[in-house]
Structure 1
Amino acid sequence: MNILLLLLYGAISFVQSNDTLINVQAIWRHGVRDFYYCNWGCDKNNEPDGDAQILTPAGMRQQYVLGKWLRQRYIIDNHLLSPQFNENEIYIESTDYNRTIMSAYSNLQGMYPEGFEIPNVTEDKLLPPNSGSKSPSIGNYALPYKISLIPIHTKEEEQDYALAIYCKTTGSTVQQNKQTELYNTINYANQTQELFKNFNLELGLIGEQQVNDIIELAKWRDTFTCNRYNGDDLPPKLTAKTLFFMDEIALLSFSLRQFQNWEQSKLYSTPYLKQIIQNFDNFINGKSKVKYRGSSSHDSTMLGIISGLNLTSAQCQADIYFKKDQSDIFCLTENIEFSSNLIIELYNNTQNGLYVRILYNGEYVPVCSKKGTFCQYDKFKSILSQQFVDYEKECNLNNEIKRPILYKIPIWAILFFVLVLLCTCGVFLLIFKIKQLREPEISESYVSS
């Protein structure tokens, strides 16, 4: 028995010793922001612009700590990346929102805490040409406190399908999802109605103020979550029990809203998962040197991808909510909180070739099957490719984006150019005719002489 155990341990060690991490693609939700919806503790006359929300200090700290975790794993432990930032190895992208861009910068401060050193040149070369400029006392680093600034790439929302999942049909999808049998079954279930009743009572909501919709309740929960993270007050009569049940149903309400069935999950996950395959293929084929690609995004992006990877679904969450047996499947049910992250790792085994593993919030999750956490890359690629859809067509985006004309030539200028061209042609034609008329005269003169 002991010999078998030793052989088994030796085989496992041998496989692990032949595994090399070669590429990583990570995506995370931004860190904590202020409240997005003006429903409690908010002045309706001074309602915040949700799209302009920035990271709070708590959100910055979250992303900084996540960056330190990523540094430990991919720089110190696995030696995938160089200790200092190398632009050929890493590419960071973000949606064009303040909170996601700030999250990316905070994350990178954790990954690369040592900033850039200044070159060995004379002091005057380090100053702008402004009179009176003085060199600061910050040592040999370019910026104070060893701050490192690393490029963050963004696209306008209307062009960002992978991270912002811009889609013109989303509004109608949400409206349709609120009319389905699954939505009504959950929304009008006894336990959900009891939650609404307790919530309205504890918040003192009456008449039209009352909440009786699971998606609307999630908006209130978002506000309370922000308050908890940022140290702000909660409604004084809101009980821990009610808040617990609001947390429990948060992901389900989000799935019911936008990712209620497999067709919707395939749609919204296609752009990013297609990008994953393309990036891995480019690296494998030597078309790219980037070893690490980080994407700063939103909970909607994350849920679309997680659903597309079959790690959760509205149906399995609903079954768990109603306490039906789900022992034979894997189903994430916890809400995608601030700074939640998904990481897809590509390994190479000298005997078995390429394979992928997926981490969600630092823990390996099933990939390509219900329980296995390893998947051959060719199989992973094949499974995903078969579920890709025509995103632009399904989202009515075929004629949406056109390249802007940087400089448009005025009509008068075009007409003037045509007129000059015609006059020039006319002059050359006149010269040609005159030359033809003079040729006989020259010939006669030559003969007479």
Structure 2
Amino acid sequence: MRQHWVLGQELRARYKGFLNESYDRHEIYVRSTDVDRTLMSAEANLAGLYPPEGSEVFNPNISWQPIPVHTVPDSEEQLLKFPILPCPKYLKLQEETRHSAEYVNKTRDHADFLHMVANVTGLADCSLESVWTVSDVLFCESRHNLSLPSWATKDVLERLSDLKDFSFRFLFGIIDQEQKARLQGGVLVDQILKNITAASQNESSGLKLIAYSTHDTTLGALQMALDVYNGKQAPYASCHIFELHEEAPGNFTVEMYFRNDSARPPFPVTLPGCTHSCPLEKFQSLLDRVIAKDWERECQLSGPDNDKEVIVGLVAIGCILFLLIVLLLTVLFRQKSQTSGYQHVSSGAEDQS
């Protein structure tokens, strides 16, 4: 909470003269995942960003004012929490990743270590994909100066940290990183580009700051999609910043910065293929490759079951067409068989004569 409060103060200083000195609900929108700690992080951050002054002070003993933080139910979250599921294509890519040389070699090289961790923690399942839970607990405890178990030596902590970093790459890279990005982090990239584009076209209704309070996996998915991931877990109160600059009327550039150290200012991040101050049009075109045009369709598998459904559908359509053609030919044949013109009609008088 203290780190996020400091980050809020830093953002206040960074955008002094751009953001209003007092809170203006028309110029800021904050959204968080529906998780207690991310909601609390957002609120702590906003306490540093908008300390109450003048008429905003509703209690002289409290240097704080309530700022809205929006969210959606966890079951409906399709933007800020990763990996986004269900997505059969992504799960298939993950299965392919498990058979990659890097994954197999990593499992073999750390088999004894994983077995040791399972024994000392009592975890029934301790694999490359689950060991991050142990690393996460020890990371939190060490940051709060709590006593660690005797087996958690410096070497063990370093290996756990390395395996947790690998788990991020497993989720969003190693095999077909671009396709994984289209199904995961690219969803957030797409929304951010829409926010930026709306601002450049004066369609953002006066918004100057849009903030998302999320998770380290969210940052990992985003940065892997941007292809700027440095391979390390993001620490507490990290912040990936996108800035839109109007260099001249109608001429916009995008700059990115990443804050992963509370003792240092955010450092510049450059999108591969562009300069740090990247023209908006080029920024958009470079990221088009990781944005799904139809996410639900791209998530589906093109396997035997799907092919069978297509074949059955085509056969059904073919049968219907065949019956229609037979019906049409039958009608035409009957019409042709009937003789046109006059016909002799016999009368009773003629028969008698």
User: Which TM-score tier does this pair reach, normalised by the shorter chain?
Assistant: 0.7 to 0.9
The answer to whether the 8 A contact 2:240-2:256 is kept is yes
Name the CA distance, whole Å, in 2 between partners of 1:111 and 1:62. 12
Q: Please name the residue that 2:7 is paired with.
A: 66
The one of 88, 91, 98 equivalent to 1:172 is 91
Q: Please name the residue that 2:37 is paired with.
A: 99
The answer to whether the 8 A contact 1:116-1:142 is kept is no
The answer to whether the 8 A contact 1:356-1:375 is kept is yes
Q: Please name the residue that 1:272 is paired with.
A: 188
> The residue matched to 1:149 in structure 2 has which SS?
coil
In the superposition, the TM-score normalised over structure 1's length comes to 0.58
Q: Please name the residue that 2:224 is paired with.
A: 307
Name the CA distance, whole Å, in 1 between partners of 2:171 and 2:2. 30
Q: Please name the residue that 1:223 is paired with.
A: 137
The one of 266, 271, 282 equivalent to 1:367 is 271
Report 1:142-181 matches (<5 A).
142=59, 144-165=61-82, 166-169=84-87, 172-173=91-92, 174-181=94-101
The answer to whether the 8 A contact 1:117-1:142 is kept is no
Q: Please name the residue that 1:110 is paired with.
A: 48
Residues 349 and 254 (structure 1 numbering): CA distance in 2 closer, same or farther, change over 3 Å?
same
Q: Please name the residue that 1:185 is paired with.
A: 105
Residue 333 of structure 1 pairs with residue 249 of structure 2: no
Q: How many residues are matched?
A: 287
> The residue matched to 2:86 in structure 1 has which SS?
coil
Counterpart of 1:110, as a letter, is G
The answer to whether the 8 A contact 2:27-2:209 is kept is yes
Residues 232 and 91 (structure 1 numbering): CA distance in 2 closer, same or farther, change over 3 Å?
same
Name the CA distance, whole Å, in 2 between partners of 1:303 and 1:383. 19
Indicate the RMSD between aligned Cα atoms, in angstroms.
2.7
Name the CA distance, whole Å, in 2 between partners of 1:100 and 1:198. 33
The answer to whether the 8 A contact 1:355-1:374 is kept is yes
Name the CA distance, whole Å, in 1 between partners of 2:253 and 2:196. 11
Q: Please name the residue that 1:89 is paired with.
A: 27
Q: Please name the residue that 1:392 is paired with.
A: 296
Q: Please name the residue that 1:354 is paired with.
A: 252
Counterpart of 2:291, as a letter, is F
1:204-251 superposed Cα distances (whole Å, 9 cap, x missing partner): 468x8584x222222210110111123322111321122122223322
Q: CA deviation at 1:393?
A: 2.9
Name the CA distance, whole Å, in 1 between partners of 2:272 and 2:97. 28
Q: Per chain length, whose mean CA-contact separation is higher, i.e. which structure has more relative contact order (CA < 8 Å, sep 6+)?
A: 1
Counterpart of 1:86, as a letter, is D
Q: Please name the residue that 1:236 is paired with.
A: 150
The one of 234, 240, 243 equivalent to 1:345 is 243
Residues 310 and 210 (structure 1 numbering): CA distance in 2 closer, same or farther, change over 3 Å?
closer
Gaps of 5+ in 2: 260-265, 301-353
Q: Please name the residue that 1:134 is paired with.
A: none
Residues 149 and 309 (structure 1 numbering): CA distance in 2 closer, same or farther, change over 3 Å?
same
